[in-house]
């Protein structure tokens, strides 16, 4: 009997070594905003859903308020597999790693919310996801976004004349600067966490952004004039570092993919629904003064050749046509 007990004990010790009881995985996420922003709510929903769909132990450590920097930093972290495992990123902040990815969020790509919805509920963006995975080692697990971007500036910009030479901040992707150049503005790429100060000190007179972020980061304090150019409806992938993702057990990977799709849909519904509400809140509070842009159709005409040229340079003319035809 003694002998059997000893064998069993050794067996148990071996089993413990082979499958460490720990298996507790901690995944760190990052948001540039506080708990009120749709991105933070989307990431919190993602954490909750992964926990629900995964049978093992997983813990989330979501850092808010730009504690770990801005998207420009996050993309480098994800690529290198350091500091964070997941976040939400503007495609135009990933251009350095995958030149085609900003195609999915270039200005004037979507006609309206229906078009945007049709694109995001199809798999037409799959070639761009593939490029991002191969070149940047970043995995898209879902799509959030749904804010409408407008101009916001320290002076009123409501027509083509006022737009001419307007100094404005744009995101880092070259296509962003090309498009705003084409409509007569004077764009420069500035890191997001330096924009408030750049406006305050007159380096630029404004930026373009969506209601949720204008409200969360209080850009209206330095740029109270909002012009409804409605030039972008945001596409904001929920992204994972490939290096982190590959280390995870298969069933956790599956839970992440399922949760990513659902959290993305949750975030898109939330942000697109809240967009007009937030604009109204800021207008009612006297934080922003809203104007229409006199000749939006003209802007569309001016940017189309720039979009076409960019797509051609990436060998993505068919993809752009497919997106437009959705
Ligand atoms: C908004 O806060 C978001 O769309 C975010 O994803 C972008 O990075 C940011 O604007 C920006 O303009 O850089």
Q: Output the CA torsion sign for 103, 104, 105, 108.
A: positive
Q: With contact defined as beta carbons under 8 Å apart, do 32 and 70 qualify?
A: yes
Confirm or reject: Cβ of 236 under 6 Å from ligand 1: yes
CB within 8 Å of 230: residues ≥ 6 apart: 148, 149, 150, 296
| CA 6–ligand 1 middle distance (angstroms) | 62
Confirm or reject: Cβ of 192 under 6 Å from ligand 1: yes
| CA 190–ligand 1 middle distance (angstroms) | 12
DSSP state of 92: G
Structure tokens at 137: 């080692």
Q: With contact defined as beta carbons under 8 Å apart, do 215 and 278 qualify?
A: yes
Instruction: Look at residue 24 in the predicted model and tell me its pLDDT.
Output: 83
Per-residue pLDDT of the chain (326 residues; tens, 9 = 90+): 444 444 444 444 444 444 444 468 999 999 999 999 999 999 999 999 999 999 999 999 999 999 999 999 999 999 999 999 999 999 999 999 999 999 999 999 999 999 999 999 999 999 999 999 999 999 999 999 999 999 999 999 999 999 999 999 999 999 999 999 999 999 999 999 999 999 999 999 999 999 999 999 999 999 999 999 999 999 999 999 999 999 999 999 999 999 999 999 999 999 999 999 999 999 999 999 999 999 999 999 999 999 999 999 999 999 999 999 99
Confirm or reject: Cβ of 209 under 6 Å from ligand 1: yes
- Tell me how far CA of residue 83 lies from CA of 60, 77, 292, 312, in angstroms: 13, 6, 42, 36
Confirm or reject: Cβ of 234 under 6 Å from ligand 1: yes
Ligand 1, closest atom to CA 72? 8
Q: What is the CA radius of gyration of the chain?
A: 22
Q: Output the CA torsion sign for 37, 154, 291, 159.
A: negative
Longest Cα pair distance anywhere in the chain, in angstroms?
Answer: 95
What interface predicted TM-score (ipTM) does this complex get? 0.99
Residue nearest to atom 5 of ligand 1 (CA): 90
Confirm or reject: Cβ of 231 under 6 Å from ligand 1: no
Instruction: Look at residue 183 in the predicted model and tell me its pLDDT.
Output: 98
Instruction: Report phi then psi at 4, rounded to 5.
Output: -60, -45
Residue nearest to atom 4 of ligand 1 (CA): 90
Ligand 1, closest atom to CA 192? 13
Q: What is the pTM of this model?
A: 0.93
């Amino acid at each position: 009997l003694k002998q059997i007990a000893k064998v069993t004990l050794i067996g148990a010790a071996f089993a413990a070594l082979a499958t460490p009881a720990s298996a507790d995985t901690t995944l760190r996420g990052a948001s540039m905003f506080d708990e009120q922003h749709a991105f933070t709510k989307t990431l919190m929903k993602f954490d909750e859903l992964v926990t629900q769909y995964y049978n093992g132990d997983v813990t989330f450590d979501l850092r808010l308020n730009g504690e770990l920097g801005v998207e420009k930093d996050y993309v480098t972290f994800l690529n290198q597999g350091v500091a964070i495992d997941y976040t939400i990123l503007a495609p135009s902040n990933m251009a350095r790693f995958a030149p085609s990815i900003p195609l999915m969020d270039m200005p004037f790509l979507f006609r309206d919310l229906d078009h945007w919805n049709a694109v995001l509920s199809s798999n037409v963006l799959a070639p761009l996801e593939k490029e991002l995975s191969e070149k940047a080692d970043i995995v898209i697990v879902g799509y959030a976004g749904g804010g409408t971007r407008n101009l916001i500036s320290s002076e009123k910009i409501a027509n083509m004349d006022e737009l001419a030479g307007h100094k404005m901040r744009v995101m880092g992707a070259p296509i962003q600067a090309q498009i705003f150049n084409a409509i007569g503005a004077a764009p420069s790429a500035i890191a997001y966490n330096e924009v408030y100060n750049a406006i305050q000190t007159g380096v630029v007179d404004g930026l373009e952004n969506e209601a949720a972020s204008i409200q969360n980061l209080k850009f209206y304090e330095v740029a109270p004039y909002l012009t409804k150019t409605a030039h972008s409806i945001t596409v904001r992938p929920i992204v994972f570092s490939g290096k982190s993702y590959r280390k995870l057990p298969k069933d956790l990977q599956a839970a992440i993919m399922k949760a990513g799709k659902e959290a993305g849909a949750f975030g898109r519904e939330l942000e697109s629904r809240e967009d007009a509400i937030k604009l109204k809140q800021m207008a009612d509070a006297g934080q922003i003064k809203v104007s229409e842009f006199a000749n939006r159709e003209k802007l569309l005409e001016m940017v189309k050749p720039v979009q076409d040229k960019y797509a051609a340079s990436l060998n993505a003319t068919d993809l752009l046509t497919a997106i437009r035809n959705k």
